Amino acid sequence: MNTATTLAELDRQQSIHPHTNLRRHEAKGPVIMTRGRGIHVYDVDGREYIEGMAGLWCASLGFSNERLIAAATKQLNTLPYYHGFAHKTTDVAIEVARDLLAIAPGKMARAFFGTSGSDANDSAIKMVRYYNNALGRPQKKQIIARTRGYHGVSIATASLTGLPNIHAGFDLPGPGVLHTDCPHYYRFAQPGESEEAFASRLAANLEKLIEKEGADTIAAFIAEPVMGAGGVIVPPATYFEKVQPILMKHDILLIADEVICGFGRTGQMWGSQTYSIDPDIIVCAKALTGAYVPFSATMVSARVYEPIAEHSAKLGTFGHGYTYSAHPLGAAVAIEALKIYRETDIAARVRSLAPQFQGGLRKLAASPIVGEVRGVGLIAAVELVKDKAARASFPAAAAVAAQFAERAHAHGLVVRALGDAVALCPPLIIEPAQIDEMLARFGRALSDTEAYVDQLQ
């Protein structure tokens, strides 16, 4: 019964796919993956692909890692589920909190666990509200996010997210969220403006927004060190250096969304370390377990924790938590993933591979349709343009980046189209020869896309 055709038909009839044109999917049907090993995945027909996006930025240790599988199997055979409510916990929940806080940057003091980046950011929002209520500042609740930032898809976190396709049709963003400038130098710098001057202008605009709204109404500023789903946008030089003093001046908490950047992706263990960010709250997920088990963490500094703890004593409880908070399966796999990161010095490995990866992509800048190649560590994007001199985009109807992704798929490479950009974010275990092969397949897709563009003229 489980032939490829039968499975595809069942999927068309039954499923609602995330981030998918549902009517188009009914006609087109799915790509069905059935197994993976290392950096490769295989479809139902046995065809091999380089998973150039590590799934969704998350399969940092590749597929079929025996140590992660063994950790999961052991935990399933020992204690497959327990919770953290009302003073209860598990040994692995205690251990993963210890191990994670030991490598967290700066001043993180406590960890709360969930199952996804969305719920981790949701928890951060609730903690920020609880914190300010504890301090007797009920009006200090608004959160500033950035245009093209991505922080999840729950009602609250989708409001933080600054992408129109996440808002459209859902009556979002909701109240309590403000958006400031996207720090994309290539797209939004003024003619002749240096990166530093661009960063200064964005910082000044942020402060103007704070002063307009009233600093006594602004609770937090949330930012990804490198924007992921918004197009792999690397911050301009001195950006965070200029933003952080403004937040401190106005007593505004800084939330670092490390869901994509955390655990070595940028060449340091945390994106916050790469860009000298000193957050009050850190959110992580994805690579925390190498994506083998849904698991996330919201870490807070003592500055944030202490008022929250006092308020819970006053109210009788900290009334927040999920059935699967600190799930022992996720905790056990995260413990093992963190061991692997330590033993392999994963951040140093990324730094050693980054010149080959980033340099190889930057050679593609000679293409007539490549406007910018950007990235850091083992995450990058190639921006496709109609006119390089004018930095003009292709018409949206041409779907050039989506066409690129389809051609890459035909050449055995999974990439992701993000607006006008094509992203790459391979597993961190990728080998030098595999980087060469990935770039070769990427280059073939680019050549095909150049031919496609020529037909549009």
Give the chain's domains with CATH numbers. Answer: 31-64+346-456 (3.90.1150.10), 67-344 (3.40.640.10)
CA distance 126 to 134: 12
Tokens 């992580």 sit on residue: 284
Tokens 């992509």 sit on residue: 361
Tell me: the pLDDT tens digits for 82-109? Answer: 999 999 999 999 999 999 999 999 899 9
Output the pTM of the full model: 0.97
Is a pLDDT exceeding 70 seen at residue 274?
yes
CA distance 73 to 66: 10
Residue from 44, 20, 26, 41 nearest 402 by CA: 20
Range list of H helices, 322-372:
328-344, 346-362
Averaged confidence pLDDT in the chain: 97
- What pLDDT, on a 0 to 100 scale, did the predictor assign at position 3? 85
Tell me: the pLDDT tens digits for 316-336? Answer: 999 999 999 999 999 999 999
The dihedral formed by the CA atoms of 446, 414, 21 and 122, expressed in degrees to the nearest 10: -120
pLDDT tier for residue 76 given thresholds of 50, 70 and 90: very high
Tell me: the pLDDT tens digits for 226-241? Answer: 999 999 999 999 999 9
Residues contacting residue 442 through CB under 8 Å, at least 6 positions apart: 52, 361, 364, 408, 413, 415, 424
24: exposed, middle or buried (Cβ count in 10 Å: 0-12, 13-18, 19+): exposed
What is the bridge-based pairing of β-strands 142-146 and 48-51? Answer: unpaired
- What pLDDT, on a 0 to 100 scale, did the predictor assign at position 4? 84
**Helix (H), strand (E) at residue 422:** strand 421-424
Tokens 């006119």 sit on residue: 387
Name the 3-class secondary structure at 105.
Answer: coil
Span 380-409, average pLDDT: 96
Span 298-302, average pLDDT: 98
Is a pLDDT exceeding 60 seen at residue 1?
no
Q: What percent of the chain has pLDDT over 90?
A: 98
Is a pLDDT exceeding 90 seen at residue 2?
no
Tell me: the pLDDT tens digits for 151-193? Answer: 999 999 999 999 999 999 999 999 999 999 999 999 999 999 9
